[in-house]
């Protein structure tokens, strides 16, 4: 996200507020402090009433205390998985528009997030415009198709992630099924997704 995006409201800010609806509450959960603050400022300029959390525990607590209408949740947080925050929100409110935001994007986790009730899944670095578009997208609207297909490295990485999710995140079982050394698999899982 650029400085311009984080401080300047978008051209039609008044029109943008109309897209949000009467309940403009937004919870952003991300353990990257500078990114969290920039995104929070950018969403406030677009008309949201923003609360932030930097951990799963804080996100769950804020979800229980005041369930938001909109949420942006990072998948990997220092104290656990962002999917736990999504579950906590869904227990209190079933109409929340949730966007999962992560630097470790993969198809298997995206499917899990959608099953739990997320409306979109964005890979970092996503800018404020992408997040805003995902939060305000109307039912029936289709996301733009990416111009470039996935690289061979990305397809391989996606397959590994899918098998890892199928094995309920058990590294040993995943390595066995993929006929791969456990340490090699751990190194692959620790890295960000290839482009």
User: pLDDT 10s digit of each residue in the chain, 195 long?
Assistant: 444 444 444 444 445 455 777 888 999 999 888 889 999 999 999 999 999 999 999 999 999 999 999 999 988 888 888 889 999 998 999 889 999 887 665 667 777 777 777 888 887 767 888 888 888 887 655 555 455 666 778 778 778 887 888 888 899 999 999 999 999 999 988 887 776
E-strand spans in the chain? 25-29, 49-53, 70-74, 76-77, 80-81, 97-102, 118-123
CA pair distance 6, 39, nearest whole angstrom: 6
- Per DSSP, the three-state class of 26 is strand
Distance CA 10, CA 79 (A): 34
* Alpha-carbon span 93 to 145, nearest angstrom: 30
pTM: 0.66
At residue 103, what are phi and psi to the nearest 5 degrees?
-90, -5
Could you tell me the two tokens for 44?
């406030």
CB of 103 closer than 8 Å to CB of 110 = no
């Amino acid at each position: 996200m650029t400085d311009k995006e984080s401080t300047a409201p978008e051209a039609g800010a008044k029109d943008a507020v109309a897209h949000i609806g009467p309940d403009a509450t937004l919870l952003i959960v991300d353990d990257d402090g500078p990114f969290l603050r920039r995104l929070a400022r950018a969403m406030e300029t677009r008309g949201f009433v923003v609360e932030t959390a930097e951990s799963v525990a804080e996100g769950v607590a804020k979800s229980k205390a005041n369930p938001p209408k909109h949420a942006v949740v990072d998948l990997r947080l220092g104290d656990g998985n962002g999917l736990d925050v999504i579950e906590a929100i869904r227990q209190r409110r079933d109409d929340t528009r949730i966007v999962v935001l992560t630097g470790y994007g993969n198809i298997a986790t995206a499917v899990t997030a959608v099953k739990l009730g997320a409306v979109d899944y964005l890979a970092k670095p996503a800018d404020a415009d992408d997040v805003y578009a995902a939060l305000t997208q109307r039912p029936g609207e289709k996301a733009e198709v990416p111009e470039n297909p996935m690289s061979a490295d990305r397809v391989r990485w996606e397959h590994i992630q899918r098998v890892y999710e199928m094995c309920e995140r058990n590294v040993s079982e995943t390595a066995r099924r993929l006929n791969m050394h456990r340490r090699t698999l751990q190194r692959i899982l620790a890295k960000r997704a290839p482009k």
